[in-house]
Amino acid sequence: MFATRFDPSASQNGSQKVADKKARLLGKLKRKNRNHDSTKETQKNNELPTEDMDGDSEMKDAYSENQSGENQVDKSSDEQTLKRKRNGSDSDSDSISDSSSDSESESESDGETKAVLDEETKMTHSSIISRFKNAMEKQPNPDTEETEMDMEIEPIELKDVAPLPQFKLPRDKHLYSQSYKNKSLDWLTKPAYYDTSITKPFQDFQPSIHSIIMKNLKNEFKAENAFSVQVTLIQELLKDIIRGKLDPKPRGDYLINAATGSGKTLSYLVPIVQYIVGSSSEIRIKDSGIQSIIIVPTKPLVHQVYADALKLTKGTDINVMALKSGGDVSISDERKKIGSKLVDILITTPGRIVEHLDILDVKALRFLVVDEADRLLNQNFQDWCDLVMDKIETTYNAENEGLDLKFKLRCIKLVLSATLTTNSEKLTHLRLFRPRLVIVNSESTSELYQLPRTLDEKYLRIPEKLSYFKPLILLRFFQWIDKSGFLYNNSGLIFTKSNESSIRLNKLLNIMADKFGMGTQLSIGSINSMMDNQERAKMLKKFDTNGGILICTDLLSRGINLNSIKFVINYDLPGSTKEYIHRIGRTARAGNIGSAVTLCYGDGEFKWFKKVVYSGQQINRNGKNIVDIKFVKDRAEAEENADKETEEKTDVFELNLTDGEKQIYEECLKSL
């Protein structure tokens, strides 16, 4: 009925008994292990050879002493164990003398010892064992795994991914106007074609051209009749200028694709000057700001357009400025002049205008001209296009805020090139407004590029093994005369692939001309982008006046208008169809006669030339074919094997290099 009362002394005595029992059992187990080890050592020592044991008396004595010492230790440990047993329990005192009872007690003590050790191991590692059991229970059973795989997999219901609901865009006026302007690209697929044979006197234009401009056209440019591109663009722009005075509704932009040498520069300069000058009864505000910006790709083209603008504005108060990097005027002086708002027409390269964009005032801008647009859009230096268009659009929106789209003033963009790109992604950067694509071509065909009517194309195919003598072959070509009696030794351009090639070829040709006694017949010079503006302008003026041979790079392939150029030779092949058109377009300009010759060494260059020239059938040659100049080493042998009728109509280039000529050529290369 009553609970057992807790006795602290009893608990201490119980724990002490357990500890004593544990120590006694552990001692007995150690003694047993020691006896077992000594028995093994005794057996090993007994198995030793008798010869060794008899021969070493000292080893025998040590062995016997060791055995006696161990026996004494064992006896002492046994006596201590017996004393502990007598003190621990009185009931076990009678069983000590009995040997059989000793063996039974030893076996019982061994079992108790193992049980205690197992219990301690379980208590010490219980947490580890429990975690191990949990982990083993989580492992998959290989027997049940096969059965689960055999079970049929329930089909998963597939659902379509529905788009997330989107908010409607706000009907912002600016966004609406942009989508309205670029809602269709039909103007790219439906261009307006104009025949290249159309000409018209400037005095018959309606609306009429200002008298000062007419005078400058006649005296400075010696031009009385307008070419096809001039007739098309000048008349349309003059009509837009007159309509803009009565109706401020914005006009569309123009994209002009016309052949090289067709007069594109005057086609946009005449309307711009006409707009700035106005009629004689009007008073012009001189400090209104920049009214026209003309962007061209190269510095030589800046100088050329600047010179033409000065000629056309002669006798007027129009201020024309050209941004010339590396010229006499520093950047700080240019910024002061631009900030004075006294500049009417600004001619620049894209990189130069970006430097002055922060102070540029375009409030009065009415014309933006992008000449050689395909090259400008391809290079896109410093992201000039987006920066300039952002400047114009920001000013346009700020100045016309609150006005309706139909009555906002905006500048007309004129985009011109002989190889105008039709890539809508690149044209998008110009942010065109109601663009009109005008192609000046002889017929309404799919051919986009137009060559001058008076241009003759030829090519010379030379074996590849003679490419080592390429400069010597060019020197011999200067002495060649074709069937029409034309001599290729004066007023010609030689196009190379790089500045280094042009400089090296110029030096080598001058050395060879002296060695072969042709120094008095040839005047060879070089022009490249490494020269400064003054030196380049001086070289061009000398060539235009005195003639000679001018070795150049693609720097001169665009926009250079020199009517004195009679032929062009592609010493190195052009990189594309567009570059080929621009190179050969330096001759046969403004109705003059010209010839273009391409040198092809080996089958590889000839295949590339065919790919460039006939690529996609994009070039309109006005019904002409490319003439193949026949290459022979022995003219007499070639004439015997050739048909006389075809031989009389075919141009033949004979090249029979002697050992003496080859030796002189080697000496020239060493002296270079």
Query: Residue 491: pLDDT band by 50, 70, 90 thresholds?
Result: very high
Residue 533 clears pLDDT 90, i.e. is over it: no
Residue 442 clears pLDDT 70, i.e. is over it: no
Give CA angle at 671 (666, 672), nearest 5°.
100
CA–CA dist 492, 407 (Å, integer) = 52
Query: Residue 587: pLDDT band by 50, 70, 90 thresholds?
Result: very high
Please tell me which residue, 302 or 326, carries the higher pLDDT value: 302
Beta bridge partners of 347: 294, 322
Give residue 87's pLDDT: 47
CA–CA dist 472, 520 (Å, integer) = 17
Highest mean pLDDT among 182-191, 397-406, 525-534: 525-534
Is the domain covering 451-671 a CATH 3.40.50.150 domain? Answer: no
Residue 174 clears pLDDT 50, i.e. is over it: no
Give residue 71's pLDDT: 47
The tens digit of pLDDT for each residue in 595-609 reads 999 999 999 999 999
Residue type, 294: I
Residue 181's alpha-carbon distances to 171, 250, 288, in angstroms, are 15, 12, 29
| Alpha helix segments (H runs only) across 56-140 | 57-88, 99-124, 126-138
Q: How far is CA 629 from the centre of its chain?
A: 40
Give residue 95's pLDDT: 42
Give residue 39's pLDDT: 56
Sign of CA dihedral 564, 570, 575, 580: positive
- Picking from 235, 229, 277, 274, the residue whose alpha carbon sits closest to that of residue 255 is 229
Residue 212 clears pLDDT 80, i.e. is over it: yes
Average pLDDT over residues 483-499: 93
The tens digit of pLDDT for each residue in 259-270 reads 888 889 999 999
372: left (phi > 0), else alpha (psi -120 to 50), else beta?
A: left
Give residue 113's pLDDT: 60
Please tell me which residue, 20 or 148, carries the higher pLDDT value: 20
Domain positions in the chain are 173-440, 451-671
- Picking from 338, 342, 337, 395, the residue whose alpha carbon sits closest to that of residue 366 is 395
Query: Within 13 Å and on the Cβ side, how many CA atoms surround 427?
Result: 24
The CATH architecture to which 173-440 belongs is: 3-Layer(aba) Sandwich (3.40)
Average pLDDT over residues 41-67: 45
Please tell me which residue, 304 or 409, carries the higher pLDDT value: 304
Residue 179 clears pLDDT 50, i.e. is over it: no
Mean pLDDT of the chain: 78
Residue 489 clears pLDDT 70, i.e. is over it: yes
Q: What are phi and psi of 582, to 5 degrees?
A: -70, -35
232 and 209 in contact (C-beta within 8 Å)? no
Please tell me which residue, 124 or 293, carries the higher pLDDT value: 293
524 and 478 in contact (C-beta within 8 Å)? no
Give residue 202's pLDDT: 94
The tens digit of pLDDT for each residue in 146-162 reads 444 455 566 676 666 77
Beta bridge partners of 440: 194
Cα-trace Rg, the chain: 52
Name the helix (H) or strand (E) containing 214.
helix 211-219
Give CA angle at 56 (54, 57), nearest 5°.
85
Sign of CA dihedral 287, 292, 298, 304: negative
| Alpha helix segments (H runs only) across 356-492 | 373-379, 384-399, 424-427, 470-477
Give residue 139's pLDDT: 63
Task: Kindly report the three-state secondary structure assignment for every residue of 343-362.
Answer: CCEEEECHHHHHHCCCCCCC
Give residue 441's pLDDT: 76
Please tell me which residue, 301 or 72, carries the higher pLDDT value: 301
Give residue 11's pLDDT: 46
DSSP 606-660: HHHHHHHHSGGG-EE-TT---EEEEEES-HHHHHHHS-HHHHHHS-EEE----HH
Two structure tokens written together for 20: 């004593």
CA–CA dist 510, 515 (Å, integer) = 9
CA–CA dist 612, 596 (Å, integer) = 15
Give residue 63's pLDDT: 42
- Picking from 130, 424, 124, the residue whose alpha carbon sits closest to that of residue 255 is 424
Highest mean pLDDT among 38-47, 91-100, 241-250, 274-283: 241-250
Two structure tokens written together for 668: 């020239």
CA–CA dist 156, 572 (Å, integer) = 67
Please tell me which residue, 608 or 48, carries the higher pLDDT value: 608
Please tell me which residue, 70 or 230, carries the higher pLDDT value: 230
**Domains 173-440 and 451-671 in one fold:** yes
Two structure tokens written together for 16: 């002490």
Two structure tokens written together for 253: 């932009």
Residue 522's alpha-carbon distances to 488, 499, 546, in angstroms, are 10, 21, 11
Give CA angle at 348 (345, 354), nearest 5°.
115
CA–CA dist 310, 321 (Å, integer) = 9
Q: Is 562 helix (H, G, I), strand (E, B) or coil?
A: coil
The tens digit of pLDDT for each residue in 416-428 reads 998 887 777 788 8
413 and 430 in contact (C-beta within 8 Å)? yes
CA–CA dist 290, 343 (Å, integer) = 5
The residue count of the chain comes to 672
Give residue 463's pLDDT: 94
CA–CA dist 493, 468 (Å, integer) = 22
Give residue 186's pLDDT: 63
Give residue 636's pLDDT: 64
Read off the pTM. 0.67
533 and 306 in contact (C-beta within 8 Å)? no
Residue 10 clears pLDDT 70, i.e. is over it: no
The tens digit of pLDDT for each residue in 625-662 reads 899 999 998 766 556 656 655 556 688 999 989 999 99
